[in-house]
Chain A
């Protein structure tokens, strides 16, 4: 199956700093990528949808100026958590699909963010 690489797998940062998470499709062109957030023992909540070369579409209640998403190429999307606060601590997961993935979504391995 297709592979999506997400980096880093975990990060600890101080409150007020920014953190960038990368999501790469290794063997397919990802025309669309999704970013999710998952709190402990809860389900995945969609944060935003990004199409290559376009601005991301954010879900209601997600601050676009706080969670900056860039999808500048067909193999890379980044999520930057700006001015992180402890309440931003969560598990962030990306997923991707493209014209050759037979409508299946492929997920990254996730990033555990802890803001001190």
Chain B
């Protein structure tokens, strides 16, 4: 059974700082890996999708890497802003788009 762990559970940084969120998974036979953002009481917004054959994806200030053999992914956020404050979820995809989610990292960016 796939298990996904995210570290840290919570992170508070000053505005402008670069930061890294970590995700690890136990079964390396994955189809893809996605990073999502969730605002309080809201649904999920997909940030980046990395296929199992890829090593990284970039979108604006976000960069996600994938090391399937070691079961790890990182989400790098450059020049953080208060609007980046949210919970970030890592989800590992199996066939049929079934996702296993981590418990998330709650990020607070202080002005």
**Chain A interface (Cβ within 8 Å of chain B)?**
1, 4, 6, 32, 34, 41-46, 49, 91, 93, 95, 97, 103-110, 112
Contacts and interface: CB of A to CB of B under 8 A. Distances in A.
B101 interface: yes
B11 interface: no
A6 B46 CA distance: 17
Given A42-B103, A103-B97, 18 more contacts: A34-B97, A43-B101, A44-B89, A44-B99, A45-B101, A46-B98, A46-B100, A93-B44, A97-B97, A104-B34, A104-B49, A105-B34, A105-B97, A106-B46, A107-B36, A107-B45, A110-B41, A110-B42
Contacts of A6: 43
B43 A107 contact: yes
SS of A interface (majority): strand
Given A43-B89, A43-B104, A44-B89, A105 B43 contact: no
22 contacts: A1-B46, A4-B43, A34-B97, A34-B98, A43-B101, A43-B102, A44-B89, A44-B101, A45-B101, A91-B41, A93-B43, A93-B44, A97-B97, A103-B49, A104-B46, A105-B34, A106-B46, A107-B43, A107-B45, A107-B46, A109-B42, A110-B41
Nearest to B39: A109
Nearest to A102: B49
- In this complex, the member of B32, B42, B45 whose beta carbon has the largest number of chain A beta carbons within 10 angstroms is B42
- In this complex, the member of A4, A95, A112 whose beta carbon has the largest number of chain B beta carbons within 10 angstroms is A95
B111 interface: no
Contacts of B101: 43-45
B107 to A, nearest CB: 14
A103 B43 contact: no
Interface string B54-79: 00000000000000000000000000
A32 B95 CA distance: 13
Contacts of B83: none
A109 B34 CA distance: 18
